């Protein structure tokens, strides 16, 4: 049944109606924030921030899940998902789950804000995927959002990750490529793009490498902001910092071409802090892109013991799907 979904998903996709939406998400900051993040990275406090262009996580919560968007340490009761162990060691290191798939969990020290409030310890949950052994695909159901568990059950994907931002009408705020069909309009001058072809996954920094349509991507989606720029450079500087924290999902590509899927489920990172953490980590990232966060943020992994990960608190219309290649 899952193979049928992948082969014929074009026949099942709803036709988009109406025009396409641009969502410029402006958040004017009153104070900046850039304090220590824990045992992995030492941060230096920043000056008070100026205006910032920062994504606002989608806040439309499904009636099928618990109304707990402000709680980042529990999962919706409607999903049967095992939360990864967070108390054993501070850093599990990369654990090989199968050929081409590794998992790592890092427990950071409690994060204290500049006002002295304790945000609690953050968890960095990561999957490292080799495109030589796994296929990537975009799932898009405009106007018909689904829980991550539903996306996984219908597609048969081993890994499901929430995608980019979407409007109240449940349509993507930027360009989506679904089975070679281009839907919507590209971000211009900001953000990034996940492009998928037969060879694997590419990340574009749209400010420096605009989407032209000639890239040959069969699947793709866009989001913002870039957290790691090409070459491992800082993507979200301190002068754009707003101080706002949230649950966050990230896709990155390391220096060898492997794809990193990352979630920080407890909601303690600001965008600048996460950007710095990724750049200064030992993940060897070449590029990384922020995806929709807050209650939309989630990663599910199907393994031999069942499904583990962090379920999103809301249904989403746009996801990234990953499954093993047939050898």
133-190 residue pLDDT tens? 999 999 999 999 999 999 999 999 999 999 999 999 999 999 999 999 999 999 999 9
What are residue 299's phi and psi, to 5 degrees? Answer: -140, 130
Omega before 225 within 30 of 0, i.e. cis: yes
What are residue 289's phi and psi, to 5 degrees? Answer: -125, 135
pLDDT band at 115 (very low <50, low <70, confident <90, very high): low
Q: What is the largest CA-CA distance in the chain?
A: 55
> How do beta strands 101-107 and 200-205 pair?
unpaired
Give this prediction's pTM: 0.78
List the one residue out of 138, 145, 141, 173 whose CA is nearest residue 315. Answer: 145
First-to-final CA distance of the chain: 20
For 289-306, what is each residue's pLDDT tens digit?
Answer: 999 999 999 999 999 889
For 220-259, what is each residue's pLDDT tens digit?
Answer: 999 999 999 999 999 999 999 998 999 999 999 999 999 9
Whole-number Å distance between alpha carbons of 14 and 9: 10
């Amino acid at each position: 049944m899952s193979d049928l979904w992948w082969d014929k998903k074009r026949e099942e996709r709803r036709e988009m109606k109406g025009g396409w939406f641009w969502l410029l998400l402006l958040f004017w900051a009153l104070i900046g924030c850039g304090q220590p993040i824990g045992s992995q990275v030492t941060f230096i406090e920043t000056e008070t921030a100026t205006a910032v262009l920062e994504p606002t996580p989608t806040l439309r919560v499904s009636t099928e899940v618990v109304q707990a968007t402000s709680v980042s340490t529990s999962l919706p009761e409607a999903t049967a998902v095992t939360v990864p162990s967070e108390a054993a060691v501070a850093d599990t290191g990369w654990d090989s789950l199968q050929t081409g798939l590794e998992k790592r969990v890092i427990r950071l020290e409690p994060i204290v804000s500049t006002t002295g409030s304790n945000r609690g310890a953050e968890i960095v949950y990561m999957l490292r995927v080799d495109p030589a052994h796994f296929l990537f695909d975009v799932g898009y159901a405009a106007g018909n959002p689904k829980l991550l568990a539903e996306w996984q059950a219908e597609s048969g994907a081993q890994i499901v990750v929430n995608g980019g931002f979407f409007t109240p009408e449940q349509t993507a705020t930027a360009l989506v490529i679904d089975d070679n069909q281009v839907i919507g309009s590209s971000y211009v001058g900001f953000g990034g793009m996940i492009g998928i072809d037969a060879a694997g996954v590419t990340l574009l920094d749209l400010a420096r490498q605009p989407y032209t349509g000639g890239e040959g991507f069969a699947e793709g989606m866009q989001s913002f902001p870039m957290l790691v720029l090409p070459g491992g450079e800082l993507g979200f500087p301190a002068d754009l910092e707003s101080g706002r924290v949230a649950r966050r999902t990230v896709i990155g590509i390391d220096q060898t071409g492997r794809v990193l899927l990352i979630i920080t489920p407890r909601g303690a990172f600001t965008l600048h802090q996460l950007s710095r953490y990724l750049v200064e980590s030992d993940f060897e990232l070449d590029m990384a892109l922020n995806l929709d966060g807050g209650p939309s943020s989630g990663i599910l992994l199907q393994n031999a013991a069942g499904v583990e990960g962090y379920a999103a608190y809301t249904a989403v219309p746009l996801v990234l799907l990953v499954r093993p290649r047939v050898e």
